[in-house]
Amino acid sequence: MESVRYEAPRELSAAIELLDSVEGARVLAGGTDLLIQLRAALIQPSLLVDLKWIPELTAVSLDEEGLSLGAAVSCAELREHKQIERLFPGLYESAELIGSEQIQGRASVGGNLCNASPAADTVPALLATGARCVVAGPGGTRTLPCERFATGPGETILGRGELLVSIQIPKPAPGTADCYLRLIPRTEMDIAVVGAAVSVTLDASGSCTDARVAQGAVGPTASLVPDAAAALVGGVPDVGRLEAAARAAAGASRPIDDKRGTVRYRRKVTGVLTRRAAEIAIERARQRTR
């Protein structure tokens, strides 16, 4: 904690300049991961760049294109946008599951991505919605699918001077709904043993025309499972399709043994949660096609 400085730039360009020019600079959004790492001396930054005064990082907008969520918007603020709950119930419930009310008052979805924990709750939910990351840096701005943002536990594609500005989620097609479920050994305040997110689009006949299936806490990063999505698409999602999606999800999982669960247990639960999340997403989508 020696000689760490603090800056709260008002402009994105100023934040990029600081991150690029100061060796050992780190961004500060909600701080719920960063400040604990700082106290435990796991990191020794020379400068903390507070992003919460930068308009692009704190804006939330919803229009015909979809949702734009500033990377530093807290989960508590996200939950106050009832339109987000209506359009993306899975993303909403993933943000609502993180820590306590106090933690949600600070923790951001952008921070959840950047911290790159394999067990991050909002990341599978983002993947299921087809979200994209807007990254800005000294070389300009680039966007990429959220599934390419984390490259391993605690590792992201961010280069020197780069930061996550916002998350863009395309407006869902009619008849689309999502769901996120996680397993923890209690009802609140724990880290996912397994997380599963599913988004489905149904047509007027109830046939599934599009799906995205994602999983968390069962691999080095959250990931999409294209085979599980493919199992759901092409007809009315019946028991056979749900079971095929569950098998594909369990088969694609690459969990580790640790105190939260064994490989075998996590594999099994991945299938169970994927199926349950799919069932809930399908029921939500059905209500939207009525």
Q: Which residues in this chain contact other proteins in the complex, by CB under 8 A?
A: 1-6, 8, 28, 31-32, 35-36, 38-39, 48, 50, 52, 74, 76-77, 99-103, 105-106, 188-189
| Residue length of the chain | 290
Cα–Cα dist 50/10, whole Å: 9
Contact 191, 33 (CB under 8 A): no
Please report how close the Cβ of residue 253 comes to other proteins at its closest, in angstroms: 29
Contact 223, 127 (CB under 8 A): yes
Number of H-type helices and E-type strands within the chain: 12, 14
Nearer to other proteins, 102 or 151 (CB): 102
Please report how close the Cβ of residue 203 comes to other proteins at its closest, in angstroms: 37
Burial class (CB in 10 A: 0-12, 13-18, 19+), 12: middle
For residue 199 the two structure tokens come to: 């988004």
Cα–Cα dist 203/288, whole Å: 10
Cα–Cα dist 273/215, whole Å: 9
Please report how close the Cβ of residue 72 comes to other proteins at its closest, in angstroms: 12
Please report how close the Cβ of residue 106 comes to other proteins at its closest, in angstroms: 5
Please report how close the Cβ of residue 128 comes to other proteins at its closest, in angstroms: 24
Instruction: Say whether 95 sits in a helix, a strand or coil.
Output: helix
Nearer to other proteins, 6 or 290 (CB): 6
Please report how close the Cβ of residue 241 comes to other proteins at its closest, in angstroms: 34
Radius of gyration, CA atoms only, the chain: 19
Contact 215, 252 (CB under 8 A): yes
User: DSSP secondary-structure letter at 6?
Assistant: E
Nearer to other proteins, 39 or 148 (CB): 39
Phi, psi of 245 (to 5 degrees): -65, -40
Please report how close the Cβ of residue 105 comes to other proteins at its closest, in angstroms: 4
Nearer to other proteins, 81 or 241 (CB): 81
**Beta bridge partners of residue 169, listed in sequence order:** 67
Nearer to other proteins, 163 or 218 (CB): 163
Nearer to other proteins, 259 or 290 (CB): 259
Nearer to other proteins, 99 or 220 (CB): 99
